[in-house]
Amino acid sequence: MCAKAKAEGGEVLFADQVGIRSDQVTGRTWGAKGCTPIVRRSGNRFPVNAMSAISTKGRMHFMVFTETFDADVMCRFLDRLAGHFDRKVHLVVDGHSAHRSRKVRAWLADHPDRIELHFLPAYSPELNPDELVNADLKRSLPMHSRARDQAQLATETRRFFHRRQRQPHIVRGYFGGPHVRYTLE
């Protein structure tokens, strides 16, 4: 697939979606011996979702949204992604039903020179370097200042992605994991 992309002069990106919840446990805390630490929370539960795509060159593209990830959201992400490139994009994704939906296939058929999807083997998230972005995001969300509402959680999520866009060396580092080094060959 990478050879095909190079022959066509295309760009190879790995993409994945992630869900973040307000009540997710992040980070660590401490307490005096024998005293259980208390972490204050609002008690509200609200989700934020994101879709990101990364390249071995250190580029990152993302979209943060509050609705459920489905074919409409995937088509919107493909539109945005295609707008950032003047050549064909080879997008490697997992087997999520939204990626294989009729609507996404129709979008791809209408834009054959813009984006082509390539699917990872089933049940193999360890082969997708963008999964490491998701883990980094969940580790990096602020531990001390919990989001009070969905808008604040979305803002914190966007802040993470903007910071990583300005750190291409970290984005390239996601491709150094033992299971994803194959992407560099």
The predicted-structure confidence for 133-182, as pLDDT tens digits, reads as follows 999 999 888 765 678 889 999 999 999 999 999 999 999 999 998 899 89
Q: 32 falls in which pLDDT band (50, 70, 90)? A: confident
Q: What is the pTM of this model?
A: 0.86
What's the pLDDT at 163? 96
Beta-strand ranges (E) seen in 27-134 are 47-54, 60-65, 89-93, 115-119
The DSSP letter of residue 28 is: -
CB atoms within 10 A of CB 118: 14
Tell me phi and psi for residue 89, to 5 degrees: -110, 130
- Beta strand 11-21 with 47-54: parallel, antiparallel or unpaired? antiparallel
Tell me if residue 89 falls in helix, strand or coil: strand
Q: Residue 5: which pLDDT band, with cuts at 50, 70 and 90?
A: low
**Residue type at 151 in one-letter notation:** A
Half-sphere exposure of 48 (CA within 13 A, CB side): 22
Residue positions counted in the chain? 185
Please say if the pLDDT value at position 185 is more than 60.
Answer: yes
Cβ-count burial of 183 within 10 angstroms (0-12 exposed, 13-18 middle, 19+ buried)?
Answer: buried
Question: Which of these ranges, 80-89, 115-124, 149-158, 176-185, has the smallest mean pLDDT?
Answer: 176-185
CA nearest neighbour of 51 among 2, 96, 106: 96
